[in-house]
Structure 1
């Protein structure tokens, strides 16, 4: 299905009428004469034309970067380096080659790759061809990938060599049910010796060969309307049911600028890619580095030593990552650490980072900013904006404040905590829980080919996140749990995030996650899954006793299991997997009352 076809669900106005929030947002781009008359006593002499209106699109960031920062380094990957002038030419060639391969406006182009230069270039080259970029999670199995390729109806899939086997199995599965398969383009990696170990078919089209047929003077196919789709991102699957989230050019443009501001990026930053580019398009910083003429330091595989080495060699100024990445940094062996050449600004999100991890990062010389968002909000949507008066607080108190999700960023119109039934705002008392809801231009267009899910998500004129939170007296929000993760034990609500924070403070605990375990008497009781630090020991009884000394009795785990935590490629713990395990655990490590 082509995104620009009449059958695309978000183009059908009749489907939007029951939820006017989508329709109203679309109509802002077509202001009627009556609306103009209401805003001014006279509209004489006013005219919307090419001189004063151009549809917003992040494509323009690369064009400007090639003019302003043409000879400055844009991308670094091992021994490979490009300038902004070279990056623009490569992206134009890519767009031209896609057209030659039959791609037309609104077609979906998929990619399965890690943080390498080709992945970065696809973020510009695909929309320059008028197409829609679909970045796939690199941890997907073949069956899931086949499902997403079928759903997206991708015309082409770019595959990094290390994922070739998974992709080809997915295509074989797809061939049994789909009339047409996407063209496979192989991305070889000159920096990786394992290229030679992969079986490469001679008929496979190779990325650099594709670029060679493209024209550097290609005329960019710009969006007809800034609400045209630019990307299709599938949710990470922590609930085991991914949905196709559609981004538009306007939202991507606005969230890019907002994220740059959130991250405190001035001109020519040096950014280390530890956030997967496939995740919310790298929190929109794939486009943001071009906006500021920065340097992309590509890190194909994230490791503690790789992070410290990259910061030292390339003088990194900014980076991002889920709390698991921060946890990796603070637990790096001393012999693998290198002194930071300067303070490194770090954005973290995905779940509330434990205060202990935040304080440890600060001691190492990193300045951590905590943001919050979802795939449906183009990534970052709020920021725990720091206030100078908090600088004098004790380290532990500062860390607790930083673990809040804060307030909406400049690109998001509003965030609120509301009762999901009455839609009334909860009181700002730091205690009353409600659902986090968003409203603004950096909320997705909707779920691809799923109008019912779109209407449900926008029910009441707000995007409903499913996250439960409180609002503090200063207005800052604090997420307590996902609605599906909250544990109800004997009628009492237990925030798994609060219990996990206590577990992280245990000196032997490296990672922890808490889920509800069915209980005949209480309904549910907390079950903790714990990974210990190398060389550390702790028993289930010790962990339970530690928690009971620091939490109300009913909140402490009654079951503890020691194992590696299942995660998505973005570092989120897959709690639905743990819930299945907890249900099957029986009386394992259960503490008797």
Structure 2
């Protein structure tokens, strides 16, 4: 526990507290509805005194054992019920990856009240937050003090502010204490287990880079199974320490708020993605796991504190396809990449599974294979690559397993969303052909591994040939001076479209090419010609200080296309 910190009196569980919800009537003895809430009850029962949460890099450090955290979750459930929250109501959460409102309470406590957590991106603008609050019809808002300015004026729902202190007097702590008092010590037995495992578990909104964000509804059953799969595939267990870098507003943190609890792992919270703090915890806190998009990984491996680690750390990578050079850079530091692929549903549903034969390959050859999205993992059903359906039919036909024929990734099964909230038209379109249509273009290799070649809107058609912007980026990123690269189509009178590459340089290479961007463009083009067919080589190269990105770290190619449209 953090020295000198004492949990609030309301956070201390009573002696011999029961750790079981009241069972709904009528359930047969051989059926229990799946619900990720049961993970925290199990952890508090088996390892009550193990440290579950640590939040140390703030003015008011805190840490909680599983027993104390479980009591706080119970308090939140009762506080929400006292505030009038009913089953199925949405509870909006606007907070960083701090202990309050997010990791420690909301992903569990809101479910205990049979309500639906709706985590909102803290990097959005007030107008975007207002739209999500209105569209989600949230009945109450839990907000960190740093983000109160994002709230619209004249709100008609209750707002609970957290000052992120964990101390008495904090409005959020007072809210939890009121819940404890309201419970009259009925404990977990006073809260009822949800009888329907297909009830909504979360409502998470997409980035909305080209239009209004859509609300993705997941289920209790899907969240339970996805969490177990993530814990298993990532090898999270009792001795694991997970560092929160991935924002939990993004697809509910890929279900890792529950996966870590299922594995009894200790979780370390960070309010912001600070690479200095990340490396401090890598080197001093026994971190074993973290998640992050490729753009976050690039910042980590290129930080001045980066060095060979004394013990291996597993990095779960998703959000975009990592380049082979990034995978190689992580391994050289002792970070083991676990490359997974998923969507704003439950997060990952495929994994690139390592093979014994890779040991005989060079690092560069192995890294290119590891950049594939791989096979469906535990509790997921299938990941197919299919031709676009023919007019008048929704029949899906698989492409051949030749590693060349391009189709769209579709999937179905446990780790697929329930629906788009209040949008039946978009839901029907996404489920065309009886599967979820991802919009990601890919090939299927002979071994059954899926490999993304691009988003459908990012394919460059040059002289009648289809060029994958992702494949071009993979090769350009192998240049030793390139930090990040994004490629988009630019109009060409002769070829129709040609690739335009936007590049950021490694910090160690900026001085080398200062005032010589033309020379760098020639060198990068020569580098590309050795690795790519002529139609895929960039016609133009722009060195930029940074690439435009969404709040979750994805490169905004929509913005880059607007730039080239004016050239």
TM range (shorter): 0.7 to 0.9
The residue correspondences of 1:362-377 to structure 2 (distance < 5 A) are 362-376=331-345
The residue correspondences of 1:210-359 to structure 2 (distance < 5 A) are 210-215=175-180, 217-218=187-188, 219-333=190-304, 336-337=305-306, 340-359=309-328
Contact between 1:238 and 1:572, CA under 8 Å: does it hold in 2? no
Distance in structure 1 (CA, Å) of the matches to 2:557 and 2:166? 35
User: Where do 5+ consecutive residues of structure 1 fail to align?
Assistant: 1-47, 193-201, 587-593
In the TM superposition, what is the alpha-carbon distance from 1:339 to its structure 2 partner?
A: 5.2
Q: Deviations over 1:258-316 (max 9, x none)?
A: 11111122334110111111111111010111111110111211122211111222201
In the TM superposition, what is the alpha-carbon distance from 1:429 to its structure 2 partner?
A: 0.4
Q: Deviations over 1:197-226 (max 9, x none)?
A: xxxxx9xx9211111101262523432310
- Give the secondary-structure state (helix, strand or coil) at the position aligned to 1:390: helix
Pairing partner for 1:557 from 538, 546, 553 = 538
Distance in structure 1 (CA, Å) of the matches to 2:192 and 2:158? 21
Distance in structure 2 (CA, Å) of the matches to 1:292 and 1:535? 40
- Give the secondary-structure state (helix, strand or coil) at the position aligned to 2:458: coil
In the TM superposition, what is the alpha-carbon distance from 1:393 to its structure 2 partner?
A: 1.6
Contact between 2:485 and 2:501, CA under 8 Å: does it hold in 1? yes
Pairing partner for 2:135 from 126, 136, 151 = 151
Distance in structure 2 (CA, Å) of the matches to 1:68 and 1:146? 42
Residue 172 of structure 2 corresponds to residue 188 of structure 1: no
- Give the secondary-structure state (helix, strand or coil) at the position aligned to 1:460: helix
Distance in structure 2 (CA, Å) of the matches to 1:578 and 1:460? 33
Contact between 1:471 and 1:478, CA under 8 Å: does it hold in 2? yes
Contact between 2:243 and 2:287, CA under 8 Å: does it hold in 1? yes
Residue 49 of structure 2 corresponds to residue 71 of structure 1: yes
Contact between 2:237 and 2:264, CA under 8 Å: does it hold in 1? no
Distance in structure 1 (CA, Å) of the matches to 2:561 and 2:97? 32
- Give the secondary-structure state (helix, strand or coil) at the position aligned to 1:391: helix
Pairing partner for 1:470 from 443, 468, 480 = 443
Pairing partner for 2:489 from 512, 516, 532 = 516
User: Where do 5+ consecutive residues of structure 2 fail to align?
Assistant: 1-25, 391-395
In the TM superposition, what is the alpha-carbon distance from 1:520 to its structure 2 partner?
A: 3.2
Residue 415 of structure 2 corresponds to residue 442 of structure 1: yes
Q: Which residue number corresponds to residue 420 of structure 1? A: 388
- Aligned-pair Cα RMSD in Å: 1.8
In the TM superposition, what is the alpha-carbon distance from 1:239 to its structure 2 partner?
A: 3.5
- Closer, same or farther: CA 104–191 of 1 in aligned 2, 3 Å: closer
Contact between 2:308 and 2:332, CA under 8 Å: does it hold in 1? no
Residue 374 of structure 2 corresponds to residue 411 of structure 1: no
Contact between 2:141 and 2:158, CA under 8 Å: does it hold in 1? yes
The residue correspondences of 1:375-414 to structure 2 (distance < 5 A) are 375-376=344-345, 378-414=346-382
Q: TM-score, normalised by structure 1?
A: 0.84
Residue 115 of structure 2 corresponds to residue 137 of structure 1: no
Q: Deviations over 1:498-518 (max 9, x none)?
A: 111122112221111111112
Distance in structure 2 (CA, Å) of the matches to 1:246 and 1:114? 21
In the TM superposition, what is the alpha-carbon distance from 1:190 to its structure 2 partner?
A: 3.4
- Give the secondary-structure state (helix, strand or coil) at the position aligned to 1:484: helix
Q: Which residue number corresponds to residue 476 of structure 2? A: 503
337-346 vs 521-530, greater mean Cα deviation? 337-346
Q: Which residue number corresponds to residue 106 of structure 1? A: 88
Distance in structure 1 (CA, Å) of the matches to 2:526 and 2:157? 56
